[in-house]
């Protein structure tokens, strides 16, 4: 038995696309070339990897577990390449950084400036999406690191804290003179939330230990939407402190801070433990921590 990485790559492509033709195209080879390699792989293994249906290709049970391991191997091989790149000249080339949506608009300028200043040769690629997607992308090696709320509670990740900040209450400007409610009292008010998937939604919910009245149709996909909704008198909302400067100015709302201990969140940088970039990423976290602790 003599497996090759080529076979694993082609197999993985078919497993992902569920289609030989498209897998071949994605792999940059002709369909027969790919078919032959996959068939050879099956022959060497002595087991079918795919159920070839007339309309679709599906993994067998065996193929399913095989795919998991094959992917891990391909990822590890990719990391070998990264290892070589890092080993000479430190951080350079592409760095794929993920950022959660409730951070990206407010921090990215400073992040880009700080990293570009320290590593001029760095080719930064940013991807903004919700935490679950970031975690998947990190696990698959599609991202090198991500800025998200700590803790990630993913054992495969290493994380470094970047900053902590409080949440503030945003209410219609007309209510500016009202006393600040206790966080626990928020469930008495109409609290507007981000849609499912945003970690900030869960954090906001956690503040209201009593639960909130669900307001279907009153969810936003971005903090600025929520603030606009508050300005229109639809309810109140929480936003992280870093968003105040940008968002509170754009609508007729009042911002109120909670007395200590105020609810808040910790943000950090996270990366796969096994990435060869780990030492460099610790340095990146250091640089970001410094840059972000300075006033904007």
Partner DNA sequence: TCAGGTTCATAGGCTTGGATTATGAAACAC
Partner DNA sequence: GTGTTTCATAATCCAAGCCTATGAACCTGA
- The secondary structure element, H or E, covering residue 103 is none
Convert 182-205 to b/e letters by CB count within 10 Å (16 or more is b): ebeebbebbbbbbeeebbbbebbb
The site that binds DNA (CB under 7 A) totals a number of residues, namely 24
- Reported residue count of the chain is 296
Dihedral of the CA atoms 84, 86, 92, 94 (nearest 10)?
A: 70
Residue 121 binds its own copies, judged by CB under 8 A: no
Q: Per-residue contact track with its own copies, 38 to 77, x per CB under 8 A?
A: -------xxx--------------x--xx--xx-xx--xx
Shortest distance, position 40 Cβ to its own copies, whole Å: 13
The partner in contact with residue 57, picked from its own copies, DNA, none with C-beta cut-offs of 5 to 8 angstroms by kind, is DNA
What is the CA 182 to chain-centroid distance, rounded?
31
Identified binder of DNA from the candidate list 26, 33, 173, 189, rule CB under 7 A: 33
Could you tell me what percentage of the chain is helix, strand and coil, using 3-state DSSP and rounding each to the nearest 5?
A: 50, 25, 30
Per the CB < 8 A criterion, the answer to whether 76 and 276 are in contact is no
Residue 252 binds DNA, judged by CB under 7 A: no
* 209 or 274: CB nearest its own copies: 274
Q: Per-residue contact track with its own copies, 276 to 295, x per CB under 8 A?
A: x-------------------
Residue 3 binds its own copies, judged by CB under 8 A: yes
Instruction: Please choose, out of 85-93, 150-158, 198-206, 284-292, the segment that lies near its own copies by the rule CB under 8 A.
Output: 85-93
| Rounded CA separation 186/211 (Å) | 9
* 54 or 217: CB nearest DNA: 54
Residue 29 binds its own copies, judged by CB under 8 A: no
Residue 5 binds its own copies, judged by CB under 8 A: yes
Q: Give the pair of three-digit tokens for residue 175.
A: 């209510």
User: Which stretches within the chain are classed as H helix?
Assistant: 5-17, 20-27, 31-45, 61-87, 104-118, 131-140, 199-207, 223-231, 244-247, 278-293
Residues 6+ away with beta carbon under 8 Å from 109:
none
Instruction: Please choose, out of 55-63, 98-106, 192-200, 274-282, the segment that lies near DNA by the rule CB under 7 A.
Output: 55-63
* 54 or 179: CB nearest DNA: 54
Residue 246, CA distances (Å) to 206, 249, 281, 296 in order: 25, 6, 29, 12
* 72 or 296: CB nearest its own copies: 72
Interface residues with its own copies (CB under 8 A) are: 1, 3-6, 45-47, 62, 65-66, 69-70, 72-73, 76-77, 79-81, 83-85, 87-88, 276
Interface residues with DNA (CB under 7 A) are: 4, 6, 19-21, 28-40, 52-57
């Amino acid at each position: 038995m003599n497996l090759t990485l080529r076979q694993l790559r082609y197999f993985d492509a078919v497993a992902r696309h569920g289609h030989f033709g498209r897998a071949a195209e994605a792999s940059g080879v002709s369909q027969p070339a790919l078919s032959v390699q996959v068939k050879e792989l099956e022959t060497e293994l002595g087991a079918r990897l795919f159920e070839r249906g007339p309309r679709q290709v599906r993994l067998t049970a065996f193929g399913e577990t095989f795919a998991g391991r094959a992917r891990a191997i391909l990822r590890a091989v990719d990391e070998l390449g990264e290892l070589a790149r890092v080993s000479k000249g430190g951080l350079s080339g592409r760095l794929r950084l993920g950022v959660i949506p409730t951070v990206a608009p407010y921090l990215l300028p400073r992040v880009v400036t700080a990293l570009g200043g320290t590593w001029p040769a760095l080719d930064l690629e940013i991807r903004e999406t919700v935490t679950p997607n970031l975690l998947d992308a990190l696990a698959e090696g599609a991202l090198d690191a991500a800025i998200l709320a700590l803790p990630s509670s993913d054992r495969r990740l290493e994380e470094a804290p970047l900053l902590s900040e409080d949440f503030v209450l945003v209410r219609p400007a007309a209510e500016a003179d009202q006393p600040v409610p206790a966080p626990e009292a928020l469930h008495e008010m109409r609290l507007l939330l981000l849609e499912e998937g945003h970690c900030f939604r869960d954090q906001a919910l956690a503040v209201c230990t009593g639960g909130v009245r669900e307001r279907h149709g009153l969810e936003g996909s971005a903090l600025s939407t929520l603030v606009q909704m508050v300005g229109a008198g639809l309810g109140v909302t929480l936003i992280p402190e870093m968003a105040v400067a940008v968002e509170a100015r754009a609508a007729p709302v009042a911002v109120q801070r909670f007395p200590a201990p105020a609810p808040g969140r910790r943000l950090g940088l996270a990366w796969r433990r096994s990435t060869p970039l780990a030492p460099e990423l610790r340095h990146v976290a250091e640089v970001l921590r410094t840059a972000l602790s300075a006033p904007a």
